[in-house]
Amino acid sequence: MTIAAPITLASTMADRVGLLWPELLLLAAAMVVALMGLSKDRTIRGAVGPVSILAVLASGLLALFTGGADAAAAAGVPFPALAQWLKPMVALIAAGLMAVQGGFVDQALEAAIGRNAAAFNPLRAIRGEFHAFALFSIAGVMLLTTATDLIWIFLALELVSLPTYVMVAIGRGDRPGLEAAVKYFFLGAMATAIMLMGFALLYGATGSLQLDLIQNAFGAQAATGGIALLGVGGLMLASVGLFFKITAVPMHFYAPDVYEGAPLPVTAFLSFIPKVAGFVGLILVLGTAGLTAGELPRPIIALLWMAAILTMSLGNMGALLQRSMKRTMAYSSIAHSGYMLVALAAGTTDALDALLFYLFAYGVTTVATFGGLAVIQRAGGDADRFEDLAGLRRTHPWATAMIVLGALSFTGIPPLLGFFGKFWILTSAFEAGQIALCVFLVVNSLVSARYYLRFMATPVVAEPDSNATPTERNPSLAPVLASVAFGLALLVLPCFTGSIFGWVQRATDPAMGAAASAPAAAQSADSR
Amino acid sequence: MTLSPLTSMLSGTMMASSDIPAATIAPEMAWLGWALALPAISALVCTLMALGKVKGKLPGWLTVASLGTCFVLIFKAYQSMPEGPVVIPLAEWMSFSWGPTDFHSLQAALELYIDRLTIFWMLFVTGLGTLIALYATEYMEHDVKAGYARFFAGVSIFLFAMTALVMGGNLLLLYLGWEGVGLASYMLIGYFFTRPSAVAAAKKAFIVNRIGDLGLALGIFLTWRCYGTIEYSELFQVTANAPREGPWEESLIPYLLMLGAFGKSAQGPLYVWLPDAMEGPTPVSALIHAATMVTAGVFLIARCYPLFLLQPDALTVVAWIGGLTAFWAATIGMAQYDMKRVWAYSTISQLGYMFLGLGLGTTFGACFHTFTHAFFKACLFLTAGAVMHGFAGQLDIRRLSGLSRVPGFRMVSWFALLGGLWLAAFPFSAAFFSKDEILVAGVGSDRADFQFLGWLGLLTAGLTAYYTFRVWFRAFAGPVHFEPGDEVHGDDHGHDVAHDHGDGHGHAPAAAHAHHHGEFHPHGPRWAMKFAIAIIGIGAVLAGYPAYESMFLHKENWVQWMISGSTAVGGAGVVEHVAAEGASHGHQVLGMSAHAATSLAGSIFGIGGILIALYLHLIRRSAADSLRRAIQATPIIGWIPNAAEHKWYVDEIYHAVFRVPLWVTGHVLHFIDKHILDAGVVDGIGASPSLVGRVFRPLYGGVLQSYAVTMAGGVGLILAWLAYTWLRGGF
């Protein structure tokens, strides 16, 4: 039994590189910004952030024009058009997340240099590395979308995760950040181990690491009495390992501590980028066992079902009890993973589309909300108590408006983008017959309104405590600009849901790239 | 432009809505989209001006210009109107799909549905909108430094929403417009937001409308659920083929839509917000709360008439609610002293007639009456506004007399008389014919309940004539006497601005004249207000032209032609349907044809009401007071005058039945939330992790190892469960 079918290597290499231009651009940009961050010139160091954002946007544009579905299908990518949606979408939102990070790294150091109170010391400056790591992480997500085998998935996921551990640690370099990074790293390593164990079982069960061959093997097993225990165990362990990335029960415990310890902009990054990676990983791995055909083994469906309900409910209940905004957001992000797991458990193509759209809506809302929250800070750290938002209406009217919009969208209030995400998941789950999941989703949305209301009410209604030290203004304008841009998108994009839905639906359409994959399949059959 | 053959509508037992032709798609008419865009742009620019604190009348003129252009566009569409309904796609909007059938998708494009009914409605909405905006440029001039731009932003938003409501190609756009006009109405009623009564009135209007809007929203949901589409072009083709007895949800649709219509058009139990809405500036009352927005309910039912025809009982309910509301509001209007309030109650009453017409199956009568009413009621409101503007907010008919002889108010008085005659349905006025169309459908019906409603409508016409001329004879006729208002109607001028009038004398400052009658100089309206009043007054006269034309020239009534081929035309079918069952025009009432009897009775009731008013309120004004005292002294009916003046205590009853229980419940829940849920449960549980944390968290957060163990435990559980299920016999 061979590990990979001997597809003619020369042609596929060229095909695969053709799919990877956006990633290559990001990696090159990462090198450039890492060097720029060491420059003695303050303006060049100041350009690190904008250059990173431009690089991310450029990679998104590049993804639109390169690596068509036909090429992907020829390279054996299981969902050939998936990257066509995910890469531009991730690039757009990652650009927003990078803007939210604007100027927070090395803030005190740069301010001191600006006052001539300190000299530039390349050993202490981390802005370049930080942005390079962020770009690596984004490149990892993009790589994942065109993965064709388990090793690729594993490496891409590590490329997503490892930089984020560092970002948590060095973002401010303070004690909470370091502690969070240590926890995140060790627990992440454990989850990866579990996932690798799953991959090993999958290899054992099917004799291949290549996704299309695994799919064929599972298909053959399903036709003759069902997927074997080894395969089911592999799928299950791989899924549970991936649950860590999406903060789903039972792998969610780290999230509140890590999100709270990390600097606020990194928290925003964590609540989107690894999550996309985790869901893409789940889609690819479970896709081998008939995710969209509704043919998943029953234990896997049961696992997704239980995980969805528990993740939604524990996330929302946890969020109700928090005083820290970042912790609340951590639980809220757990809850949103639960909603998306509903779509996964529904297991239809339509539900998969709903999930992919939900990721987008969730990302846009995340940028709008976190950008708004990032306008204030406190003595070099984050302003993280709800009380810190009091009176924000007067000092930062735009940021307040965007926080309110973001919270409304998270809650799922029409006509904002978040509503359409939830609506689509609900309808698809309903059509798939998952009535209980729908009920849980609706009830949980209702519960979530209570803590999202605090994000809306505190800045608008509450008056600041006159005894408390007032919060400081974030010197960078980038977060509020990103917040306004993405907040307005929450209002405007619903008018174009038709086009966006069409785009998403094409991303999972098995007919995309079919023309190219047919000869490829014939070729591999010949060579076999 | 060809006339659709009248015979097609008279062809006996025509089935409902089967004669609505399929819509054609006409992208080449996309220029009509500007009718939607222009008010939106104007609203945006006026908002920016309000934020930028622009001083000057620019926002007003901008609004007038954009609305005027809209009217021109609509008129152009009227001239080049295609025969059947036309769908104009503008942009993609909502489009969901989750399965193969119609019931697995929701389509709502940004598109216009243009048939004659649309054009008919838009003609008077944009026409009156332009003229009233022009009037408001002068009326609101005292607010130039304060809310002028905000006012016109509100007017523009209203026109945008009204356009979406009337021209939109699906029920979702209608709903968007529906909520939009509600929002604009709320903003403009509460325009004087420093006045508590205005704020309360705005909230009341908004909240009462929520009840109706809930009905509309549910109605739209069910429409989609039952017919699989909310796009008119498809919906009316589906309903044309729908069986007459559908599933039970289907039978709810017209009732829910009706609820929405009753809320917006102040009918039945939901009428209470409209009188209070008079707290807004008078042009708003004229435009939104008399001529256009409140007719949205009539439009909704006319547009969705095929849905109503599937449930004939629903139309009976509409007829009853309309007829009773008309009578009820008229009785209240007889006892009010504030001129605008009387006109407000008369609006409710006249809207009741329109609903009566819809319910009786004569959509033609309802639409015709909407049309004539829009003009004469706008005329009445604008004249009332001129009085208010000139007399420092005074509108109490006990404190105004003989205005027709006050310099500067002569023209206003005569146009008020014109509006009054039309409201009273004086013989051969426009409203006489339009009201006649409605009442004859009742009086000449075979059904006893419809006959009763017809005669009740005739009686109401008498009451209407009385209360209308009670106002006119009191305020505009008789000896000259007036007291200026106390400026609480803040939509009048800040007197620190002395402005020059046509007659040369400047305005005295507030303190100088507010309490010294001798020094008060009422100032008449200038050109913009006079022009708008005159054009609208002439419009009111011309509104009767279609009736004269059909009466003397035996042509088809223009309004009837305008609604033919539209969704409302099913109504004509029903009238003839009823006719086929042996009722209608040929029916003998009191020994003559139903038409003649209704006209005669209407004339007698109308002129009788006017004569009574003439005697009680002009010839012997003391007689009115002694009559009132006499009634009050009579044991059984003594309570009536006071109760009528207090609007039959409906507000008080609503307060006791709805508001007080809700208020108490709210406070109880608040107490539970604050002192039990928050203090006990949430804070208690919230405190426990930190208590635990103090013991178990030596570092910043939780312990790494414990998390690892928990996670591994979770994985272990899952694997154990997997093994268990496998051992139990596989999956």
Per residue in B300-310, pLDDT (tens digit) is 999 999 889 88
Q: Cα separations (Å) of B444 from A141, B312, B355, B556?
A: 76, 18, 17, 21
Q: Which of the pair, B727 or B102, is modelled with greater confidence?
A: B727
Tokens of B451: 């006959």
Hey, which residues does A385 pair with through a beta bridge?
Answer: A324
The CA distance from A273 to A137, in Å, is 8
pLDDT of residue B259: 95
The CA distance from B621 to B613, in Å, is 10
Among the partner residues B95, B700, B718, nearest to A303 by beta-carbon distance: B718
Residue of A466, A465, A483 whose CA lies nearest to A474: A483
Kindly state whether B704 is in contact with chain A, defined as any CB-CB distance less than 8 angstroms.
Answer: yes
pLDDT of residue A12: 60
pLDDT of residue A94: 97
Provide, as residue numbers in chain B, all residues whose Cβ is less than 8 Å from the Cβ of A237: 715, 719
Kindly state whether B681 is in contact with chain A, defined as any CB-CB distance less than 8 angstroms.
Answer: no
Residue of B36, B54, B180, B178 whose CA lies nearest to B111: B36
Provide, as residue numbers in chain A, all residues whose Cβ is less than 8 Å from the Cβ of B722: 229, 232-233, 236, 299
Cis bond before residue B407 (omega within 30° of 0): no
- CA dihedral B453→B458→B460→B465, nearest 10 degrees, is 170
pLDDT of residue A236: 95
| Nearest residue of chain B to residue A197 (CA atoms) | B715
Q: What is the pLDDT along chain A (528 residues), one digit of tens a residue?
A: 444 444 444 456 666 788 899 999 999 999 999 999 999 988 999 999 999 999 999 999 999 988 778 888 888 888 888 999 999 999 999 999 999 998 888 888 888 888 888 888 888 889 999 999 999 999 999 999 999 999 999 999 999 999 999 999 998 888 889 999 999 999 999 999 999 999 999 999 999 999 999 999 999 998 888 888 899 999 999 999 999 999 998 999 899 999 999 999 999 999 999 999 999 999 999 999 988 888 899 899 999 999 999 999 999 988 887 889 999 999 999 999 999 999 999 999 989 999 999 999 999 999 999 999 999 998 778 888 898 999 899 999 999 999 999 999 999 998 899 999 999 999 899 989 999 999 999 999 998 998 999 999 999 988 888 888 888 888 899 999 999 999 999 998 987 887 888 889 888 887 776 655 444 444 444 443
pLDDT of residue B97: 65
Q: With contact defined as beta carbons under 8 Å apart, do A230 and A199 qualify?
A: no
Sign of torsion, CA B342 B345 B351 B357?
Answer: negative
Which ranges in A347-477 belong to alpha helices (H)?
349-373, 392-395, 397-411, 417-431, 435-461
Kindly state the average pLDDT of the residues B155-178: 94
pLDDT of residue A418: 94
Rounded to two decimals, the ipTM of the complex is 0.86
pLDDT of residue B700: 38
User: DSSP per residue over B82-145, as a string?
Assistant: -SS-EEEEEEEEEEEE-SSSGGGEEEEEEEEEE-HHHHHHHHHHHHHHHHHHHHHHHHTGGGTT
Among the partner residues A194, A257, A320, nearest to B682 by beta-carbon distance: A320
pLDDT of residue B573: 45
pLDDT of residue B99: 58
The CA distance from B137 to B289, in Å, is 19
B94/A428 CB distance under 8 A: no
**Nearest-neighbour CA in chain B from A237: distance (Å):** 8
The CA distance from B675 to B149, in Å, is 46
Percent residues over pLDDT 90 in chain B: 49
pLDDT of residue B389: 86
Among the partner residues A233, A251, A320, nearest to B711 by beta-carbon distance: A251
Q: With contact defined as beta carbons under 8 Å apart, do A168 and A187 qualify?
A: no
**Nearest-neighbour CA in chain B from A254: distance (Å):** 7
Q: With contact defined as beta carbons under 8 Å apart, do B647 and B332 qualify?
A: yes
A 10 A CB-CB count for A75 gives 25
Kindly state the average pLDDT of the residues B373-380: 94
B731/A496 CB distance under 8 A: no
Residue of A515, A499, A502 whose CA lies nearest to A69: A515
Q: Cα separations (Å) of B199 from A509, B276, B287, B651?
A: 54, 10, 20, 17
A182/B704 CB distance under 8 A: yes
- Please report which confidence band the pLDDT of residue B731 belongs to, taking 50, 70 and 90 as the band edges: low
Mapping DSSP to helix (H, G, I), strand (E, B) and coil, where does residue B599 land? helix
Residue of A400, A103, A406, A443 whose CA lies nearest to A271: A406
Sequence length of chain B is: 731
User: Identity (one letter) of the amino acid at A424?
Assistant: W
The CA distance from A162 to B629, in Å, is 92
Reduced 3-state DSSP string for B436-454: HHHHHHHHCCCCHHHHHHH
> In sequence order, which residues have a C-beta less than 8 Å from that of residue B15 and are 6 or more positions away?
B573
Tokens of B375: 């003009």
Q: With contact defined as beta carbons under 8 Å apart, do A277 and A157 qualify?
A: yes
Kindly state the average pLDDT of the residues B346-355: 96
Q: Cα separations (Å) of A176 from A130, A267, A394?
A: 17, 13, 31
Residue in the block written with tokens 């903003």: B187
Tokens of B452: 């009763």
pLDDT of residue B507: 40
Mapping DSSP to helix (H, G, I), strand (E, B) and coil, where does residue B170 land? strand
Provide, as residue numbers in chain B, all residues whose Cβ is less than 8 Å from the Cβ of A256: 701
Which ranges in B476-569 belong to alpha helices (H)?
510-513, 527-542, 545-552, 558-563
Query: For residue B686, is pLDDT > 60?
Result: no
Residue of B507, B640, B559, B621 whose CA lies nearest to B141: B507
The CA distance from B54 to B129, in Å, is 23
The CA distance from A62 to A80, in Å, is 17
> In sequence order, which residues have a C-beta less than 8 Å from that of residue B95 and are 6 or more positions away?
A497, A498, A501, A502, B105, B106, B107, B108, B109
User: Identity (one letter) of the amino acid at B643?
Assistant: A
Kindly state whether B703 is in contact with chain A, defined as any CB-CB distance less than 8 angstroms.
Answer: no
pLDDT of residue B611: 93
Residue in the block written with tokens 């305008």: B562
CB environment B498-514: b (16+ within 10 A), e (fewer): eeebeeeeebeeeeebb
Q: Cα separations (Å) of B437 from B365, B372, B462?
A: 5, 12, 17
The CA distance from B216 to B301, in Å, is 11
User: Identity (one letter) of the amino acid at A500?
Assistant: I
Provide, as residue numbers in chain A, all residues whose Cβ is less than 8 Å from the Cβ of B97: 501
Query: For residue B681, is pLDDT > 70?
Result: no
**Nearest-neighbour CA in chain A from B677: distance (Å):** 12
Percent residues over pLDDT 70 in chain B: 85
Q: pTM, whole model, 2 decimals?
A: 0.75
Q: With contact defined as beta carbons under 8 Å apart, do A420 and A362 qualify?
A: no
pLDDT of residue B524: 82
B98/A431 CB distance under 8 A: yes
Provide, as residue numbers in chain B, all residues whose Cβ is less than 8 Å from the Cβ of A321: 682, 685-686, 689
Q: Is B565 left (phi over 0), alpha (psi -120 to 50) or beta?
A: left
Among the partner residues B98, B699, B702, nearest to A427 by beta-carbon distance: B98
CA B152 centroid distance within chain: 19
Domain ranges in chain A are: 16-518
Provide, as residue numbers in chain A, all residues whose Cβ is less than 8 Å from the Cβ of B93: 495, 497-498
- Please report which confidence band the pLDDT of residue B509 belongs to, taking 50, 70 and 90 as the band edges: very low
Tokens of B515: 């309490």
**Nearest-neighbour CA in chain A from B726: distance (Å):** 8
User: DSSP per residue over A326-356, as a string?
Assistant: HHHHHHHHHHHHHHHHHHHHH-SHHHHHHHH
Among the partner residues B94, B98, B682, nearest to A428 by beta-carbon distance: B98
Provide, as residue numbers in chain B, all residues whose Cβ is less than 8 Å from the Cβ of A499: 92
Work out whether strand B86-97 and strand B24-25 pair parallel, antiparallel, or are unpaired: parallel
**Nearest-neighbour CA in chain A from B490: distance (Å):** 29
**Nearest-neighbour CA in chain B from A138: distance (Å):** 27
Kindly state the average pLDDT of the residues B219-231: 90
